[in-house]
């Protein structure tokens, strides 16, 4: 049995759906590799075209520009994370256990037994850590938001907020704590690897330390 994870993406994220053609999939696959290798700033459609063996014009048929492609990749990532949160918290009654699962999922990409995608999810996780915020830290965030481009991120956040409320219905900041959790998981990871003196995990570079910090942070806050 072959399982392919198909995530339904907002039509506004692309000009032509990259999931529906070989070239489209190559664009996503090679984008992730190139952005990971050289960073988003030095990433261009010309370089991407050369890497794939196609032309710049062909890529512009799929995405308006490289920023839209980044939003697409980020949206895919958030949808995928929400899916994994759903799967991993299913049938678990205890909200504390569910929250701990969420924290683990946010912090590191755990090896899945089923290979669901045509690209490396761990690399995807890494580029979201380093480049993900650039998707919305722009002057056109409001228009992009109106086009629902950040819906997967907001859905994930809402879902985590629900779990927080399940644990403690009286907690006053479920949504802010959820978005904080997501961002801090990424930032602490980036700092640990790149600006270690901003963290307490510089020496060992161990992701489980971030998990411990986040668990401490979240559970102290929501304990009444």
Partner DNA sequence: CATACTTGATAGCTTTACTATCTTTTTAGA
Partner DNA sequence: TCTAAAAAGATAGTAAAGCTATCAAGTATG
Q: Which residues bind its own copies (CB under 8 A)?
A: 38-39, 41-42, 130-131, 133-134, 136-139, 141-142, 145, 150, 153-154, 157-158, 172-180, 183-184, 187-188, 190-191, 194-195, 197-201, 213, 216-217, 220-221, 223
The backbone torsions φ and ψ at residue 53, rounded to the nearest 5 degrees and listed phi first, read 90, 35
Distance CA 179, CA 185 (A): 10
With respect to its own copies, which residue has the nearer C-beta, 28 or 178? 178
Query: According to the binding rule CB under 7 A, does residue 138 interact with DNA?
Result: no
- Cβ at position 176, least distance to its own copies in Å: 5
Burial zone of 148 (CB within 10 Å; 0-12 exposed, 13-18 middle, 19+ buried): middle
The backbone torsions φ and ψ at residue 39, rounded to the nearest 5 degrees and listed phi first, read 85, 160
- Cβ at position 184, least distance to its own copies in Å: 5
What number of residues does the chain have? 224
* Contacted by 24, from DNA, its own copies, none: CB < 5 to 8 Å by type: DNA
The 43-82 site mask, x for binding DNA (CB under 7 A), equals -xxxx-----xxxxxx-xxx-xxxx---------------
DSSP secondary structure string, 80-138?
Answer: HHHHHHHHHHTT---HHHHHHHHHHHHH--PPPSS---SS-HHHHHHHHHHHGGGGTSS
Q: List residues near DNA by CB under 7 A.
A: 16, 21-24, 42, 44-47, 53-58, 60-62, 64-67
């Amino acid at each position: 049995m072959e399982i392919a994870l198909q995530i339904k993406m907002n039509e506004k994220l692309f000009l032509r759906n990259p999931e529906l053609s070989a070239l489209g999939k190559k664009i996503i696959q090679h984008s992730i590799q190139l952005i990971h290798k050289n960073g988003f700033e030095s990433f261009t459609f010309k370089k991407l075209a050369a890497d794939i063996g196609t032309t710049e014009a062909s890529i512009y048929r799929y995405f308006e520009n490289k920023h839209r492609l980044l939003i697409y990749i980020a949206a895919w990532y958030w949808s995928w994370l929400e899916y994994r949160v759903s799967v991993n918290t299913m049938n678990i009654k205890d909200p504390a256990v569910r929250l701990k699962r969420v924290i683990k999922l946010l912090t590191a990409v755990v090896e899945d037994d089923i290979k669901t995608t045509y690209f490396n999810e761990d690399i995807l996780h890494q580029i979201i850590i380093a480049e993900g915020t650039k998707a919305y830290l722009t002057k056109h965030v409001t228009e992009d938001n109106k086009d629902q481009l950040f819906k997967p991120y907001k859905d994930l956040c809402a879902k985590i907020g629900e779990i927080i409320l399940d644990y403690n219905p009286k907690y006053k900041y479920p949504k802010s704590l959820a978005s904080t959790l997501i961002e801090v998981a990424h930032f602490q990871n980036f700092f640990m690897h790149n600006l270690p003196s901003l963290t307490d995990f510089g020496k060992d570079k161990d992701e489980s330390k971030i998990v411990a910090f986040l668990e401490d942070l979240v559970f102290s806050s929501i304990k009444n």
